[in-house]
Amino acid sequence: MDTMAGKICLITGSTDGIGLEAAKTLASLGARVIIHGRNAEKGTRALATIRQLSPQAQVDFVRADFASLSEVRAMAEEVKSLVPHLDVLLNNAGASATGSLSYSTDGYELTFAVNHLAPFLLTNLLLDTLKAAPRARVVNVSSLAHKLGSFDIDDLMTEKAKPLHAYFRAKFANILFSNELARRLRAHGITSNALHPGTIKSNFGSESLQTAIFYKLARPFLMTVKQGAQTLIYLASSPEVEGKTGGYYAKCELKQPAKETDDKLLANKLWEKSEALVGL
């Protein structure tokens, strides 16, 4: 049943894991899908996988390293040249928690740069493309980890806290951004929702020894990639969430995130600081 026929979806971080699983499903439902990753070889393999499962699928690959804002800008231009509009922007790409700080091409703390600044910039650059669709959706992958640690608007680069807090803060920022986007785009009929996909058996977290050990020990209790992708697919395609915006979901149900994520003043401050950091 082609419930997504005629829809165009961009899924970041979709050459493996839950992003690829979402791409496979949305393509099977009839959507034209643009997948994204930083590795061209993995992109080619992902395209082949989707085409094998859905031979009629229209699927493209765009390459960009989210550790570089100039590559994010180039990717946005490529997407705009490929499609007339976007029905779904699924901000899924991210970097996992690490035990030490590292920095992006632009000199920003890497976890925050990849998880928040890159999708913030990409979404803003694609706003006109989203507005060109009848009823577009933005879906932002956050994490239950946003409830850990504390969010400090004056320490976005995690210079005054343990490195692990960079991930917690980035995931908190995802929800602040998602909620602020919902408020700003409500008049345009565009929805914005955030989600926690679950803790999943995937390659996510393998960059850090600490998180790699955790995932190895916890593996028997983790969700499969297919299970972890369900909330992404639900928010991207389900008629049940048509017109619903500013929510935070887990297991395809509306959940309550940390109370502070609904702080409009804090969300606006983050938006302004993010605009300055990415040069909008």
Q: What is the CATH number of the domain that holds 210?
A: 3.40.50.720
Q: Note down the domain range covering 52.
A: 8-278
Q: What global pTM score does this model have? A: 0.91
3-state SS class at 232: helix
Q: Which of 167, 215, 234, 249 is catalytic?
A: 167
pLDDT tens-digit readout, 36-80: 999 999 999 999 999 999 999 999 999 999 999 999 999 999 999
Tell me, yes or no, whether 2 lies in a domain: no
Tell me, yes or no, whether 117 lies in a domain: yes
Tell me, yes or no, whether 139 lies in a domain: yes
What string of DSSP letters covers 47-68?
Answer: HHHHHHH-TT--EEEEE--TT-
pLDDT tens-digit readout, 94-151: 988 788 899 999 999 999 999 999 999 999 999 999 999 999 999 999 999 999 988 9
Q: What's the pLDDT score for residue 163? A: 87
pLDDT tens-digit readout, 156-198: 999 998 888 999 999 999 999 999 999 999 999 999 999 999 8
Q: Is 215 a catalytic residue?
A: no
Tell me, yes or no, whether 124 lies in a domain: yes
**CB neighbours of 57 closer than 8 A, spacing ≥ 6?**
27, 28, 32, 33, 50, 51
Q: Is the confidence at residue 220, as pLDDT, over 60?
A: no
Question: pLDDT grade, residue 201 (50/70/90)?
Answer: very low
Q: Is the confidence at residue 207, as pLDDT, over 60?
A: no
- Domain count along the chain: 1
Q: Is the confidence at residue 222, as pLDDT, over 80?
A: no
Tell me, yes or no, whether 54 lies in a domain: yes
Question: pLDDT grade, residue 215 (50/70/90)?
Answer: very low
Tell me, yes or no, whether 3 lies in a domain: no
Q: Closest Cα to residue 156, out of 12, 246, 73, 278?
A: 278
Tell me, yes or no, whether 94 lies in a domain: yes
Tell me, yes or no, whether 1 lies in a domain: no
CB 50 within 8 A of CB 59: yes
